[in-house]
Structure 1
Amino acid sequence: MRPTSTVEPQGNGDRDQGNGDRDPDRPGPQPLAPYVQRLAQRVRAFDRRRPLVWDLLLTGFYVILASTDYTSDGWRTVAPDPGVPEPLVIAMSLGLSLPLLWRRRHPLAVLAFMSAVGVVNSASGAMLQAALLQLIVLFGIALRLPLKTLGTAGAMMTLPLVVGAVRFPEDSWDAQVIPYLWASSLVALFGIAVRSRQDYTGALVERAQRLEVERDQQARLATAAERTRIAREMHDIIGHNLSVITGLADGGSYAAAKSPERAAQALQAIGTTSRQALSELRRLLDVLSDDVPATAELAPQPALSDLDQLIDGVRAAGLPVRSTVRGNPEPVPAGRQLAVYRVIQEALTNTLKHGGPDATATVDVAYAPDGVTVDVTDTGAPGTRAEGTGSGRGLTGMRERTSLYDGTLEAGPLPRPPGGWRVHLHLPLPSSIPKDSQTP
């Protein structure tokens, strides 16, 4: 018969490619580490909730283990003296295992007691393996107590070894002592490593909590600052326009009987001013709204180029204003331009409110390489302003805007005669401020 030949199938390429090309969606063996980690977390959580139950379980396990060593006569196979009385063996088995129940509350006392039992164990020649349970207490001492106590613990654990080496010098003393000392050292180092890990983890948790608290504090501070800014902007917008409307209404009512045309002009100016105020207020509220952030109507903030419009509106309200501008405002940044505009606006608004019917105002703006200087004076009576009939928010807002740009602001009455009120502002330009004195 002709020998038959076999042909390897060509569809096993995926099998020959190795495990590195395995489909992640295909079921297969999963890493063991996550399961072990979850199990350890559950054990630690149970230990925190029921420490006494855990101690009873652990102690009971080792008591049974020590008793099994006695009942099976396993200890006789390694004991230098197999003829040790059985009651003494039972007592030493319990003395080396039962104290584990109190190992966390009184670790040094438990180790001292177990060391004393260990001395009897070594001197009698039983050499029970339950003496190794002292390593569990040593681990707890390295994990929880000050590191200086490890010296005392090491001395207590070495004493039974020395007694056994002297009592039964069958082998060299280093063969009996050194391996146990190495094991004790490794257990102590393991406890220190776990302790360092716990301290590091606790420090990270504490830092995260502290950062969370600081984040909440920063959020609250930012919210308070934003509320202050919003209140300042609304005060500047509404307060100024309402003062202009009030002046126009008073003038219109006075001119209604004698000059209807002037009254109609005043009403028209009131409508224009109120619509402007309503538009600015709606724009501010639209920006603050969370419902329509993308459709909010945005417009540039007032700048120094809008001073003429501001002064014209104040004049239309009945306050004669003479303005003087020297220099070029172009080098002034937009933020400083807004601050200057709002200070002038607030000063003229205060004159409208408190200056009286015969008051006049003067606005003097000077631009220089080192900054902007503004003087707003009026001839109104300063008494009402000095007495603080208003809320005081206007002067506070002016000072806040000035301090934001490291400027200086002076506001107060002028000496009599002629009297009046003066607001003096100086804002330095960024190029003229030393770097070590700039506000962060």
Structure 2
Amino acid sequence: MGDRHPNDPRPPQPLTRHFQHITQQARALDRHHPLLWDLLVTGFFVTAALIDYTSGGWKNVTENPTLPGRLILTLSLGLSVPLLWRRTHPFAVVLTMVPSAFVNAWTGALLQAALIMLVALFNVALRTHLRTLLWSYALAVAPFVVVAFRYPAEQGPDQSVAPPAMSLAFSAVIGIAVRTRQEYLASLVERARQLEVERDQQLQLAAAAERARIAREMHDIIGHNLSVITGLADGGRYAATKNPDRATQALDAIATTSRQALAELRRLLDVLREEPEPTAELAPQPSLTDIDHLIAGVRAAGLPVHTTILGNGPLPPGRQLTVYRIIQEALTNTLKHGGPGATAEVVMSYEASGAVTVTVTDTGRGTPAPVNGGRGLPGMRERTALYGGTLEAGPLPHPHQGWRVHLHLPEEIPQ
């Protein structure tokens, strides 16, 4: 007792658990066997009405005990059997019961089965519109008004009409309350379903974005290094017959580049694992400090590259990666498509505002692959768009020959 927090929910009492169990069983029966449930409910009220008829209990409250038994039996069934259709046609059930209720009132039989109208009115409130409910309520009260004036009690007609009218109104209010709760729960279920759909959509978008990022990284890593290896292999093949030492250097460079590419690919795959190994070495992404190493590898592959850096300024790691990858992709395209004798020039300038501009031009004779045919140019545009920059890529104007890639990243605006 002393360890329980005052806000902790208390377990349900045995009586409450028993009632909840019975309620759940009744709802399960109604949900899986609705016709059987309707027969059980209707059978209960029909049985109660017939017991009142066969036992003669109705004679204790009737105003005319000499009424024929066939009339009492007909009225008992007319006030109870229509309940079988109370859920599918609630207003029709009320219309069917009203004639028996009027005969019951006019003849003075005053059968207790007339109270079954409470159940019918409850179902009207639960399943139909307000106007239908008002009409049903008026029809249900009318027989009691007939009784009040045809067989006035000692307390007067007003006092004899008020109790049944209030009971019928209370039944209608309960039906409205249950309906409101059902609609509220249905709205909660629908809202939960919509949230699940939105969550799944967000997960799909996140997965698609992650797949695009991974494809872009793998393209940059593998595409560049394979292009360098291809250039080194071609140069080594030509040098093998004339200068074996140069061929050996090319093979060494190929081995080094291959190991670097394999190491970067392994690091990327380690990141993709759901449970990365504790000993996995996750190297940082390349930055502008690695530009010299990148260009040295391209030169070793046989592409002369001239670099010019104007100004100096710190860039966030994300922007450095973008600049690095775009220079890497531009030089890779020159290696693959520039043809023999091509040269490249990289000009990078820092502006006082914090913006950076990079221009990569080459003198190649080839043409880069179509934009829709790979991930090179689309990947560069995606990286540029992340930082609100602009990227221009295309052939140099006539009469010049070659290709130009121009990147501009504007000043970073603090959030």
TM-score by length of 2: 0.93
How far 1:261 moved relative to its partner? 2.0
Q: Does 1:404 align with 2:393?
A: no
The answer to whether the 8 Å contact 2:371/2:377 transfers is: no
How far 1:258 moved relative to its partner? 2.1
The answer to whether the 8 Å contact 2:90/2:127 transfers is: no
Q: Does 1:333 align with 2:292?
A: no
Q: Does 1:371 align with 2:355?
A: yes
Fraction of identical pairs, as percent? 61
Q: Distance in 2 between matches of 1:324 and 1:336?
A: 19
1:165 equivalent in structure 2: 148
2:397 equivalent in structure 1: 415
How far 1:156 moved relative to its partner? 0.8
Q: Distance in 1 between matches of 2:371 and 2:94?
A: 80
Q: State which of 421, 430, 440 in structure 1 corresponds to 2:412.
A: 430
Q: Does 1:288 align with 2:272?
A: yes
Q: State which of 81, 92, 99 in structure 1 corresponds to 2:64.
A: 81
Q: Alpha carbon RMSD of aligned pairs, Å?
A: 2.0
How far 1:280 moved relative to its partner? 0.3
How far 1:143 moved relative to its partner? 0.9
Amino acid at match of 1:135: L
Q: Distance in 1 between matches of 2:311 and 2:164?
A: 91
Describe the superposition over 1:287-314 as per-residue Cα deviations: whole angstroms up to 9, x where unpaired.
Answer: 1123534333201100111111111111
The answer to whether the 8 Å contact 2:126/2:179 transfers is: yes
How far 1:237 moved relative to its partner? 0.3
The answer to whether the 8 Å contact 1:412/1:421 transfers is: yes
Using the TM superposition, name which of 217-226 and 392-401 deviates more.
217-226
Using the TM superposition, name which of 41-50 and 71-80 deviates more.
71-80
Amino acid at match of 1:255: A
Amino acid at match of 1:231: A
Q: Distance in 2 between matches of 1:359 and 1:184?
A: 96
Kindly report which structure 2 residues correspond to 1:209-288, keeping only aligned pairs within 5 A, or say none: 209-288=193-272
Describe the superposition over 1:303-348 as per-residue Cα deviations: whole angstroms up to 9, x where unpaired.
Answer: 1111111111111111111111122241x11111111110100000
Unpaired segments ≥5 residues, structure 2:
5-10
How far 1:389 moved relative to its partner? 9.5
Describe the superposition over 1:50-78 as per-residue Cα deviations: whole angstroms up to 9, x where unpaired.
Answer: 12111111111111111111222222222
Q: Distance in 2 between matches of 1:290 and 1:47?
A: 46
Q: Does 1:111 align with 2:94?
A: yes
How far 1:145 moved relative to its partner? 1.3
Secondary structure in 2 matching 1:177: helix
Secondary structure in 2 matching 1:366: strand
Secondary structure in 2 matching 1:425: strand
Q: Distance in 1 between matches of 2:150 and 2:277?
A: 88
Q: Distance in 1 between matches of 2:178 and 2:12?
A: 30
The answer to whether the 8 Å contact 1:247/1:352 transfers is: yes
Cα 1:147–1:293 shift into 2, 3 Å: farther
TM-score by length of 1: 0.88
How far 1:409 moved relative to its partner? 0.5
Unpaired segments ≥5 residues, structure 1:
1-19, 436-440
Describe the superposition over 1:268-303 as per-residue Cα deviations: whole angstroms up to 9, x where unpaired.
Answer: 111111110010011111111235343332011001
Q: Distance in 1 between matches of 2:403 and 2:58?
A: 105
Q: Distance in 2 between matches of 1:223 and 1:390?
A: 22
